[in-house]
Amino acid sequence: MIRRSVLSLTAAVTLSLGFSLPVVAQDDFIIVQSTTSTQNSGLFDHILPIFRAATGIEVRVVAVGTGQAIRNAANGDGDVLFVHSKPSEEAFVKNGDGVRRFDVMYNDFVIVGPPADPADVTGMSDVVNALKQIAAAEAPFASRGDDSGTNKAELRLWAEAGIDASAASGEWYRETGSGMGATLNTGTAMGAYIMTDRATWIAFGNKGDYQIAVEGDPKMFNQYGIILVNPEKHPNVKADAGQAFVDWVLSDEGQAAIAGYQQDGQQLFFPNADS
């Protein structure tokens, strides 16, 4: 893998695994603007202690919807952006707010639903046709409605289905304006269908009798990316430490840490930094 670097690191320590990272004080920290799925799934609880043990760098995560995370980073309120809406991430770099975007990992989206299945979509793999059936049945659908990566993907799929779901806002289409976990809680309580990333669903502890209804469509692919916030535009960015985190996440060690995170015997994220 070609090593990514923006600024020369002031000092380095060679780890036993052969990856060089800067030596920093134990109380040094960076801020990562990220999405709720990386936090709610427990991924950061798994990988961040490994990174800190290797480097001494503490990572403080601001977990919000992708849209808000990008806006925060564009305001210079963070050192690294780690989200899942590739077009928005590319625009962030094009606008000069980020240095360079890299693929990190992927999983997929699923639609979960109640056992009654009023739209008769359980077992479907064609997400566009499933959404058409949900709309035709006017079956309750709970949307995050928060400009998150999940919300952006959901709206793209509604558009592909030729449906303006927002026109039914407050009727069968309900926008929670909340994160994924809160939307799952709200949606399951009202008997609604919900689109969620698979990792958050696996980690979600309040499933009740809900099950995955729609899955397996390539259109539900969910790619995550990482970007160092541009220190030339935002001088407060901790470029060395931030770049160290980016490099570690993309390294063999970081990718192995991501691949090693499981719940209930299921791998939640699949690293693809080299693809």
If pLDDT is split at 50, 70 and 90, which confidence band does 28 have?
confident
Query: Hey, is 142 helix, strand or coil?
Result: strand
Domains 13-106+223-271 and 108-220 share a fold: yes
Tell me: the pLDDT tens digits for 141-185?
Answer: 999 999 999 999 999 999 999 999 989 999 999 999 998 999 999
Query: Please, what is the Cα angle at 202 between 157 and 252, to 5 degrees?
Result: 90
If pLDDT is split at 50, 70 and 90, which confidence band does 3 have?
very low
Q: Domain 13-106+223-271 is in which class?
A: alpha beta
**In the chain, count of helices (H) and strands (E)?**
10, 14
How many C-beta atoms surround the C-beta of residue 55 within 10 A? 22
CATH-assigned architecture of domain 108-220: 3-Layer(aba) Sandwich (3.40)
Distance between CA atoms of residues 16 and 89, nearest Å: 34
The answer for residues whose C-beta is within 8 angstroms of residue 128's C-beta and 6 or more apart is 157, 160, 161, 217, 219
Predicted confidence at residue 40, as pLDDT, reads 86
Domain spans in the chain, listed from the N-terminal domain onward:
13-106+223-271, 108-220
Closest CA to 108 of 186, 201, 4, 178: 201
Across all residues in the chain, what is the average pLDDT?
A: 90
Name the percent of the chain lying above pLDDT 70: 90
Residue 127 has pLDDT above 50, yes or no: yes
Predicted confidence at residue 25, as pLDDT, reads 46
Query: Please, what is the Cα angle at 45 between 40 and 48, to 5 degrees?
Result: 130
Distance between CA atoms of residues 241 and 230, nearest Å: 13
Q: Which of 110-119, 177-186, 216-225, 250-259 has the lowest mean pLDDT?
A: 177-186
Tell me: the pLDDT tens digits for 51-76?
Answer: 999 999 999 999 999 999 999 999 99
Residue 117 has pLDDT above 50, yes or no: yes
Closest CA to 88 of 35, 15, 30, 132: 35
**In this structure, which amino acid lies at residue 63?**
A
Q: Residue 159: what are its φ and ψ, rounded to 5°?
A: -60, -40
Residue in the structure block whose two tokens are 């989206």: 109
Please check whether residue 199 is in contact with residue 41, taking contact to mean a CB–CB distance below 8 angstroms. yes
Distance between CA atoms of residues 270 and 256, nearest Å: 9
Mean predicted confidence (pLDDT) in 123-130: 98
Residue 213 has pLDDT above 90, yes or no: yes
Predicted confidence at residue 10, as pLDDT, reads 34
Please tell me which residue, 237 or 12, carries the higher pLDDT value: 237
Mean predicted confidence (pLDDT) in 3-20: 38
Give strand ranges (E) for the chain.
13-14, 20-21, 29-35, 58-64, 80-83, 98-113, 141-143, 173-175, 193-197, 211-214, 221-229, 262-263, 266-267, 270-271
Predicted confidence at residue 8, as pLDDT, reads 36
Give the tokens for residue 67.
Answer: 């849209």
pTM: 0.85
